[in-house]
């Protein structure tokens, strides 16, 4: 305990106050938005009682996520895109990470550089680039789901590489080489030794790509096609200023719950590997270090 | 993956040379086709021409035939035209918002990084929570609160004050929206950098007689410089290209940023792809230094991880 602690205006008190104020400021608007998704009335500022009508209301009223066609379609589109992206970007990214970590050829360095570029390119630039290429060169790719899917995979691959290569460097090459010295072919060493060792990182990548894709707004919007390709973030963007009913809050809440669930899975997977390599970080610290 | 179990030792070695590039191949090809080529398409469209009959942009893929006239028109507009005003406004908004993010974010990141014990995880969870709440949801939450007659107005009425029309085009609302939206992305790398500072370094400084203020200025701040820079770059890159925050929180021409002009020419009109592409190149000129710094940082981080 430092002597300043008896003084209510001491530095440490001020720091606690600032942090608590920040947390309240950053979370209260969201908490209020979630609360009003359960409002029984149409207002988003006057509480009229608890109800789940904006989530699962009747088909006749067609005002809930379940029965309003535009809300339901946004939820479906977001889920489809996130699942497709996750299934395609993760294997490509894992293979790229392994390849880049082991390959010593002349083209290895430029390839590594190429992989880093999508991470530092502003989303709007990538959005414009993909829009123009699908509009002018790859015109066999339709705007909407196909273009959005290709765009989401493109920005996700590098994230997978970063996650997996952290684990690859930690493992080193010893296990694989031991397996090969004992007579395993490179393929066997890969399947029986390297991939099992990488499995927590691969699981974390699946969850992470899912979260990145379902959270994306800019790429989805630039590559939008027909109305059915509107995702949840795009729907929030187009509806937010039009005095929407609380069903839009309900849709945002569902997105939030899905994203957080994916991140928790990623964090647990990450923790599993940290534990194996002897760390004692908590899950939340794993998620924190993981983002960098 | 093709493996040949009958192959002799030298064959296996020869094979292994091709295994690793083979693994990288799908990803590299994907990025060439869907990142490099699209990136080039921005230049091809910006330096192309407009089809006079169908009134749509025709890209010019061969740099020999690049026509820079439409690009130089946009460039001309940047120096002394409407676009110049928008560019200056963008820089001012981004600079003010980044500074406020740093002033608010630093004490928060510092406080949590110096916590230990049972509640550390909880503090961290609370400051990281906004990170995983969708940006558009967080903007929508503020629109709810700032709508005419909503909660913020009610507080003003209660205090006997007359609230302004928050969402009718106020620069300060847009700037505060940017701060609210991007601050978690600054706090995270800042927390990482501050967390790596060993508590004993700070204790040593105090034991040697430095005041807390002096310890902060001479030890903590210099040691967290990398985190500050990384955090600022991470938030400034998307802020420069942001169009949704001004659109949602203002929608007025008075708060238009560079990103809005790109959004307008690409998403909202069909025949102006050339102008949109030229504007995107100009945006990239603005953020090139930030991108280069970020690239070097990530590259260094992965190199260190390898050692």
The interface pTM score, or ipTM, of the predicted complex is 0.89
Q: Which of B10, B116, B117, B136 to mutate to test the interface with A (most CBs of A within 10 A)?
A: B136
Rounded average pLDDT over B221-236 = 91
What pLDDT is stored for residue B150 in this prediction? 85
Give me the residue label for tokens 């609160």: B145
* Percent over 70 (pLDDT), chain B: 93
Task: Let me know: does A259 contact B96? Beta carbons within 8 Å.
Answer: no
The reply to whether residue B135 touches residue A117, judged by beta carbons under 8 angstroms, is no
> What pLDDT score does B296 carry?
87
Distance from CA of A292 to the nearest CA of B (A): 7
Instruction: Flag whether residue B143 sits within 8 Å of chain A, measured between CB atoms.
Output: yes
The alpha carbon of residue B281 is apart from the nearest alpha carbon of chain A, in Å, by: 9
Give tens-digit pLDDT for A243-270: 888 999 999 999 999 999 998 888 888 7
Question: What is the rounded average pLDDT of the residues A32-48?
Answer: 89
Q: Which residue has the higher pLDDT, B170 or B306?
A: B170
Q: Label residue A10 by pLDDT band (50, 70, 90).
A: low
> What is the rounded distance in angstroms from the CA atom of residue B217 to the CA atom of residue B204?
14
Q: For B93-117, write each residue's pLDDT tens digit.
A: 999 999 999 999 999 999 998 888 7
Q: Which residues of A touch B133 (CB under 8 A)?
A: 30, 256, 259
* CB contact at 8 A, B224 and B197: yes
What lies within 8 Å, CB to CB, of B114 at 6+ separation is B194, B199
Give the count of beta carbons closer than 10 Å to the beta carbon of residue B225: 10
Helix (H, G, I), strand (E, B) or coil at A162: helix
pLDDT of residue A84: 97
| pLDDT exceeds 90 at position A86 | yes
Residue A2, pLDDT score: 46
**CA torsion through residues B178, B179, B180, B184, sign:** positive
pTM: 0.89
Mean pLDDT, residues B10-22: 66
Q: Is the pLDDT of residue A56 over 60?
A: yes
pLDDT given for residue A9 in this prediction:
57
Question: For residue A133, what are the CA distances in angstroms to A142, A153, B44, B258?
Answer: 11, 16, 10, 21
Contact B298 A288 (CB under 8 A): no
From the CB of residue B87, how many other CB atoms can be counted at a distance below 10 Å?
A: 21
Per the prediction, chain B carries an average pLDDT of 86
Where in chain B is CATH 1.10.3720.10? 78-306
CA distances from A78 to A75, A106, A209, A217, B238 (A): 5, 40, 13, 10, 22
- Give me the pLDDT at residue B281, please: 93
Burial of B62 (0-12, 13-18, 19+ CB in 10 A): exposed
Task: Give the confidence band of A51 by pLDDT, cuts at 50, 70, 90.
Answer: confident
Q: Quick check: A96 pLDDT over 90?
A: yes
Sorting pLDDT into bands at 50, 70 and 90, what band is B271?
low
Q: Which residues are registered as beta bridge partners of B49?
A: B58
Q: Which of A96-105, A121-130, B7-16, B207-216 has the highest mean pLDDT?
A: A121-130
Q: For residue B304, give the chain A residue with the closest CA.
A: A169
Higher-confidence position of B264 and A7: B264
- 3-state SS, B291-307, equals HHHHHHHHHHHHHHHHC
| Structure confidence at residue A175 as a pLDDT band (50, 70, 90) | confident
Residue A105 makes CB contacts below 8 A (sequence gap 6+) with: B20, B21
Q: Which of A179, A194, A186, A175 is nearest to B5 (CA)?
A: A186
Q: What is the pLDDT of residue A282?
A: 52
Residue range A203-229: mean pLDDT, rounded: 93
Q: Is the pLDDT of residue B3 over 70?
A: no
Query: What's the pLDDT band for A104 if we cut at 50, 70, 90?
Result: confident
CA B48, CA B273: separation in Å to the nearest integer?
Answer: 10
Whether the pLDDT of residue A121 is over 70: the answer is yes
Query: Does position B24 have pLDDT exceeding 50, yes or no?
Result: yes
Q: Which of A83, A81, A39, A110 is nearest to A220 (CA)?
A: A81
Query: pLDDT tier at B136 (50, 70, 90 boundaries)?
Result: very high
Angle at A113 between CA A110 and CA A118, to 5 degrees: 135
pLDDT, average across residues B150-171: 89
State chain A's maximal CA–CA distance in angstroms.
72
What is the rounded distance in angstroms from the CA atom of residue B154 to the CA atom of residue B238?
A: 33
pLDDT at position B14 is 55
The residue-averaged pLDDT of B132-137 equals 92
* CATH 1.10.3720.10 for the B78-306 domain, yes or no: yes
Q: Does B231 touch chain A (CB under 8 A)?
A: no
- pLDDT tops 80 at residue B294: yes
- Mutate which: B19, B30, B38, B199, vs A, most A CBs within 10 A: B38
Q: Do A119 and B298 touch (CB under 8 A)?
A: yes
Residue of A20, A125, A230, A282 to mutate, interface with B, max B Cβ within 10 Å: A125
pLDDT of residue A277: 57
pLDDT of B63 strictly over 90: no
Per-residue pLDDT at A283: 52
């Amino acid at each position: 305990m430092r002597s300043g602690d008896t003084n209510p205006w001491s530095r440490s008190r001020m720091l606690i106050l600032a942090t608590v104020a920040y947390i309240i400021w950053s979370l209260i608007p969201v908490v209020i938005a979630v609360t009003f998704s359960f409002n029984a009335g149409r207002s988003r500022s006057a509480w009229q009682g608890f109800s789940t009508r904006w989530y699962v209301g009747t088909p006749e009223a067609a005002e809930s996520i379940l029965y309003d066609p535009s809300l339901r379609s946004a939820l479906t589109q977001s889920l489809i895109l996130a699942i497709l992206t996750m299934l395609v970007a993760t294997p490509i990214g894992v293979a790229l990470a392994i390849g880049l970590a082991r390959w010593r050829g002349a083209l290895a360095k430029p390839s590594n550089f190429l992989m880093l570029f999508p991470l530092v390119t502003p989303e709007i630039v990538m959005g414009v680039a993909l829009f123009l290429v699908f509009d002018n060169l790859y015109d066999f790719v339709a705007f909407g789901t196909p273009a959005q899917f290709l765009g989401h995979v493109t920005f996700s691959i590098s994230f997978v590489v970063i996650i997996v290569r952290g684990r690859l460097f930690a493992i080193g090459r010893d296990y694989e080489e031991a397996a090969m010295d004992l007579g395993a072919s490179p393929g066997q060493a890969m399947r029986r030794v390297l991939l099992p060792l990488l499995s927590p990182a691969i699981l974390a990548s699946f969850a992470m790509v899912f979260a990145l894709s379902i959270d994306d707004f800019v790429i989805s919007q630039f590559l939008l096609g027909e109305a059915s390709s509107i995702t949840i973030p795009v729907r929030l963007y187009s509806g937010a200023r039009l005095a929407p009913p609380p069903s839009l809050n309900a849709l945002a809440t569902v997105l939030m719950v899905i994203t957080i669930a994916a991140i928790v899975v990623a964090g647990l997977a990450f923790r599993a590997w940290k534990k194996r390599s002897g760390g004692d970080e908590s899950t939340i610290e794993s998620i924190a270090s993981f983002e960098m | 993956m093709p493996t040949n179990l009958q192959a002799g030792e030298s064959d296996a070695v020869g094979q292994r040379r091709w295994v690793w590039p083979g693994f990288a191949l799908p990803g590299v090809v994907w990025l060439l086709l869907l990142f490099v080529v699209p990136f080039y398409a921005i230049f091809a469209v910006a330096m192309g021409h407009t089809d006079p009959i169908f009134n749509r942009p025709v890209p010019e893929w061969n740099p020999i035939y690049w026509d820079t006239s439409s690009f130089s028109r946009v460039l001309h507009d940047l120096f002394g035209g409407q676009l110049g005003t928008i560019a200056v406004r963008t820089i001012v908004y981004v600079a003010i918002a980044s500074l406020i993010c740093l002033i608010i974010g630093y004490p928060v990141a510092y406080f949590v990084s110096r916590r230990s014990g049972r509640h550390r995880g909880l503090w961290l969870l609370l400051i990281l929570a906004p990170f995983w709440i969708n940006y558009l949801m967080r903007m929508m939450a503020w629109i709810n609160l700032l709508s005419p007659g909503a909660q913020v107005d009610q507080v003003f009425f209660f205090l006997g004050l007359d609230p302004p029309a928050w969402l009718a085009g106020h620069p300060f609302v847009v700037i505060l929206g940017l701060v609210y939206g991007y601050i978690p992305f600054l706090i995270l790398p800042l927390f990482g950098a501050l967390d790596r500072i060993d508590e004993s370094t700070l204790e040593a400084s105090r034991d040697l007689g430095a005041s807390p203020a002096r310890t902060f200025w001479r030890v903590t701040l210099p040691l967290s410089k990398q985190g500050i820079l990384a955090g600022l770059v991470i938030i400034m890159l998307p802020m420069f290209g942001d169009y949704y925050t001004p659109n949602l929180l203002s929608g007025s021409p008075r708060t238009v940023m560079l990103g809005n002009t790109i959004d307008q020419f690409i998403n909202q009109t069909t025949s102006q792809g050339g102008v949109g592409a030229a504007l995107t190149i100009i945006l990239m000129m603005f953020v090139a230094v930030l991108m280069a710094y970020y690239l070097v940082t990530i590259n260094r981080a992965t190199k260190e991880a390898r050692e």
